[in-house]
């Protein structure tokens, strides 16, 4: 995610649509990546990005300039993704169906080899076994490079609880990913 200029952020906070548009152009890709890693679902990730920006615009007047805009956007994206996952989980309890990520993983990557698809599918499967909070914490730490303190703030956890969440996520992922190391 690019570091949007303070001037642009300030203008957006003051209600400037064009400045907000600039923020959308700058941050959409990174928000999509985060939303996709949270859901492993391409269409859902696109919806989450749009929804997150609408929420951001609605509450941008409350943004404090001394805070990190990137973390603020991540928090909105993660919360929107979690809402989506909860709704999906409720739906899936009512349906006897394979999880959404399995269908997506096979359909959206035609250029990859069978081994790569297998690793990717298994990694996705491992990730989807984590709780929403563990997944969010791990994604923010591993892919977005947030510090434990930033993640704690994003997920509304204490620093210690956040650390334990990351540890749990790492342990679970290692168990699942160990067999793939030799591949």
Q: Which stretch binds other proteins (CB under 8 A): 11-19, 72-80, 82-90, 91-99?
A: 11-19
Among 49, 73, 152, 155, binds other proteins (CB under 8 A): 49
Pick the stretch among 16-24, 70-78, 79-87, 90-98 that binds other proteins (CB under 8 A): 16-24
Q: Which is nearer to other proteins, 34 or 94 (CB)?
A: 34
Q: Which residue has the tokens 């791990």?
A: 138
| DSSP 8-state symbol, 135 | H
DSSP annotation of 3: -
Shortest distance (Å) from residue 46 CB to other proteins: 8
**By the 8 A CB rule, do 104 and 42 touch?**
yes
Q: Find, among 98, 154, 105, 164, the residue nearest to 131 by Cα.
A: 164
Count Cα neighbours of 130 within 13 Å in the Cβ-side half-sphere: 30
Report how far residue 13's alpha carbon sits from residue 72's, in angstroms, rounded to the nearest whole number. Answer: 13
Q: Does 119 bind other proteins (CB under 8 A)?
A: yes
Query: What are the residues whose beta carbons fall under 8 Å from the beta carbon of 144, sequence distance 6 or more?
Result: 1, 30, 34, 74
Examine residue 157 and tell whether it contacts other proteins (CB under 8 A).
no
Inter-residue contact 100 to 41 (CB < 8 Å): yes
Rg (CA), the chain: 17
Site for other proteins in 59-118 (CB under 8 A): 59, 61, 108-109, 116
Residue number with CB closer to other proteins (148 or 157): 148
Query: Which one of residues 4, 8, 48, 53 is an interface residue with other proteins (CB under 8 A)?
Result: 53
For other proteins, the binding residues (CB under 8 A) are 15-18, 20-21, 24-29, 32-33, 36-37, 40, 42, 45, 49-50, 53-55, 57-59, 61, 108-109, 116, 119-120, 123-124, 127, 141-143, 147-148, 163, 166-167, 170-171, 173-174, 177-178, 180-181
């Amino acid at each position: 995610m690019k570091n949007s200029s303070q001037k642009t952020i300030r203008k957006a906070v003051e209600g400037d649509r064009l400045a907000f548009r600039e923020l959308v152009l700058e941050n959409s890709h990174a928000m999509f990546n985060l939303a996709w890693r949270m859901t492993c679902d391409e269409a859902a990730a696109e919806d989450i990005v749009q929804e997150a920006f609408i929420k951001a615009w609605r509450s941008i007047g409350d943004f404090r300039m001394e805070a990190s805009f990137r973390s603020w956007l991540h928090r909105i994206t993660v919360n929107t993704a979690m809402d989506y996952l909860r709704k999906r989980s409720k739906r899936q309890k009512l349906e006897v169906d394979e999880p959404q990520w399995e269908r997506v993983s096979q359909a959206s990557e035609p250029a990859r080899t069978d081994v790569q698809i297998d690793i990717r599918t298994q990694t996705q499967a491992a990730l989807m076994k984590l709780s929403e909070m563990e997944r969010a914490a791990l994604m923010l730490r591993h892919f977005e490079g947030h510090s434990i303190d930033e993640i704690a703030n994003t997920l509304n956890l204490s620093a210690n609880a956040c650390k334990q969440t990351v540890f749990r996520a790492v342990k679970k992922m290692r168990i699942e990913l160990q067999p793939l190391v030799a591949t």
